[in-house]
Structure formats: structure tokens, C-alpha cells
Amino acid sequence: MTTPSSLVHARGLTKRYANGFTAVDGVDFDVRPGKAFGFLGPNGAGKTSTMRMIACSSPVTEGELTVIGMDPRTQGREIKAKLGVVPQIDNLDTELTVRENLEMYARYFDIPNDVARKRADELLEFVQLDERAKDQVEPLSGGMKRRLTIARALINEPELVILDEPTTGLDPQARHLLWERLYQLKRRGATLIITTHYMDEAEQLCDHLVVMDKAKIVAEGSPRQLIDQHSTREVLELRVTDAVRDSLNGQLEALADRVEALPDRFLLYTADGERTLEQVNQRQIPIESALVRRSSMEDVFLRLTGRSLVE
């Protein structure tokens, strides 16, 4: 049954490719209007396959999927008319100018010329590319191309915007500018679905997250909820020499709720990092450096899957 208040409704959603590979294995989720919904997971977790099914560009193998109250199997064209899609790899038209990219794309939605022109003006301003309107696409920086792709995805005033790894491959400055624009978009009431393998992106942008790993959803909630449920409040990161590392014999485990031994450091999960650090010092364990920080989605992911997000 479709919940009336969900823009995307999936139950037992499965994608199996012709070669037998199961990319998405029976996932359930609901995307609420006006929220930013995130799929967090490492490469190959099934995020893009899920996106492609929602965007009606890849057929559903099994299970139930409703997008904006419609069935992608039979109403793909109607759904696409109301979607904005930002693909993982840019597919701007490099033979057209920046402005032509928007206006031509508008024509694919059968938007009249005068409306297309007006929207192109507004969107170029929104993504801060108005000064590049007459330029070709190729000389634009990676960040500018992404912003243009986002502007293009908004040309049909979509009810739902799908962004597949919107900031992968961008430098930090370009990422922050993009996040800021997406945040503005959210404030205007747009519904976003974002896939990412960056925990900071997920925390910054998403109201609700599902964590995917190996074709399945392994956890779900707001970033805060997920951290509260699957991690401690704080984390103490300790670096020690190899000699010390070999002589610890489980001493650290007694000091924290949980300890992760990474190749280059220990993560001690604890409610109060400073207090734990004091206890480490009291036991006269010689450390090279220590850092107390709040738990993040990275810790949640590590806890849920035993692996780091970005490998």
C-alpha cells in the first residue's frame, strides 16, 4: 500500500542484472516530501542502481516501487516529466553552450521557448553561472559543470530531484559551494534524494538516511539518530608506536565501550573522550598523539559493516 505522504515508496525493491548480479536486494524505504533523503554507502553498495530504478532508467526486477504516486513500469514518461536527475557522471551537451544546454533540455520537456528562456536566466543566476551563459561547456571547471547539471535538472520545476554522488571528484571549495546551493534548494521546499559515500555530505544535507551495504539497507534514521543508536557520543583517537601497539594486550578495551583497531590508529568509543584520555594517561600507556571528537556517520558505518566508507 502506498503511503499518501511518501513521494517514493519501495518495498522489497530488487535489481538483478542479466549476468545474475544482484545490485539491490529487497530494500524498503519511503521518501517524504520536502525532505532530503540520503543513500549512504561505499561504491558498489547498490545506491546508483536504486537511483536508476527511481529515475525510470532501469527496469525494476522485483518488488514494489511507486514514484510520485505512479508506477515506473507503465508510467515512466509521466514520472520523468516530474523528476530532476543529476547523474554521477556529467552528461552535459558539450556541443552546445551553457545557456543552450538549459534551453534545449527544457525543450525535451516540451516547455515553451519563452518559459525556457526565463527559467534558464533564473537558474543560471541561482547556480552562479550567469556570466558564463554564452561559453561552451568544456572549459568549465568540474564544480561549474556540476552546478550547470543541477540547474538543468531544475528546468522542469521537478517535484523530486535525484542527485547521484553530487560532489564526488570536486575540490573542497567547489563542494561547499554546491552544498550551499543544495541547501538553498531544500529551503525552497524541494524534495531531494542524494547518494553519497561521504559521511560529511550525508550529515550536512540529509534529514533522513539509509545506510546501504552489499545491496541491502543496514540502518535507517536521521544522522543524529543513527549516531545515537550505533555509536557513542565521543571518540578518542589514539596513535601509538608499533612497539606499544604490540604490548597493549587488550588494555584499551577496558577503558571504552568499544575499540576499533585501524591500521594507523585506535578508535575508542566512549561517552566522554577527555575522561577516557585521562584514564589512558593514568595507566601510563605511551601515546604519540590523541584526538577527542564527536561520533560521525563514518563511525556508524564502521560499526555496521566493519569497514570504512571511503577505501
Partner 1 sequence: MTVLVASGRVWQRNWLVYKRLWHRSLAFGFLQPVLFLTAMGLGIGALMGGQDLAAFGGVEYIHWLGPGLLAAMSMQTATFESTYPIMNKIMWGRNYEAMLSTPVGIRSIVGGELAWSAFRIGSLAAVFLLVLALFGIVRTPLALLAIPFSMLVGVAFSSCLIAFTATQKNDVGFSAIFRFVVNPLFLFSGTFFPLTNLPEPLRAVAWATPLFHGVELIRGSILGQLDPLTAPLHLAYLLVMLAIGTYFAERLLTRRMAG
Residues lying near partner 1 in the complex (CB under 8 A): 17, 52, 55, 57-59, 76-78, 80-81, 83, 85, 87, 89, 91-96, 100, 104-105, 107-110, 156
Q: Which one-letter amino acid corresponds to residue 10?
A: A
Distance CA 257, CA 236 (A): 11
Burial of 147 (0-12, 13-18, 19+ CB in 10 A): buried
Q: What is the dihedral of CA 196, 197, 198, 199, to 10 degrees?
A: 100
> Residue 248 CB, nearest distance to partner 1 (Å)?
49
> Residue 55 CB, nearest distance to partner 1 (Å)?
6
Q: Which is nearer to partner 1, 94 or 247 (CB)?
A: 94
Phi, psi angle pair for 197, to nearest 5°:
-115, 15
> Residue 104 CB, nearest distance to partner 1 (Å)?
6
> Residue 127 CB, nearest distance to partner 1 (Å)?
17
Check if the beta carbon of residue 143 is closer than 8 Å to that of residue 171.
yes
Phi, psi angle pair for 105, to nearest 5°:
-60, -40
Q: Which residues pair with 212 in a beta bridge?
A: 217
Q: Which is nearer to partner 1, 17 or 183 (CB)?
A: 17
Distance CA 303, CA 52 (A): 28
Closest among 158, 82, 155 to 120, alpha carbons compared: 155
Burial of 231 (0-12, 13-18, 19+ CB in 10 A): buried
Q: Which is nearer to partner 1, 89 or 243 (CB)?
A: 89
Q: Which is nearer to partner 1, 81 or 292 (CB)?
A: 81
**What is the helix (H) or strand (E) element at residue 282, kind and residue range?**
helix 273-282
> Residue 49 CB, nearest distance to partner 1 (Å)?
9
> Residue 52 CB, nearest distance to partner 1 (Å)?
8
Distance CA 240, CA 277 (A): 13
> Residue 64 CB, nearest distance to partner 1 (Å)?
20
Q: Which one-letter amino acid corresponds to residue 184?
A: Q
Name the region of 165 (left: φ>0; alpha: ψ -120 to 50; beta: rest).
Answer: left
> Residue 63 CB, nearest distance to partner 1 (Å)?
18
Q: Which is nearer to partner 1, 34 or 112 (CB)?
A: 112
Closest among 227, 230, 197, 226 to 309, alpha carbons compared: 197
Q: Which is nearer to partner 1, 137 or 256 (CB)?
A: 137
Check if the beta carbon of residue 226 is closer than 8 Å to that of residue 194.
no
Distance CA 259, CA 240 (A): 14
Q: Which is nearer to partner 1, 77 or 224 (CB)?
A: 77
Q: Which is nearer to partner 1, 149 or 270 (CB)?
A: 149
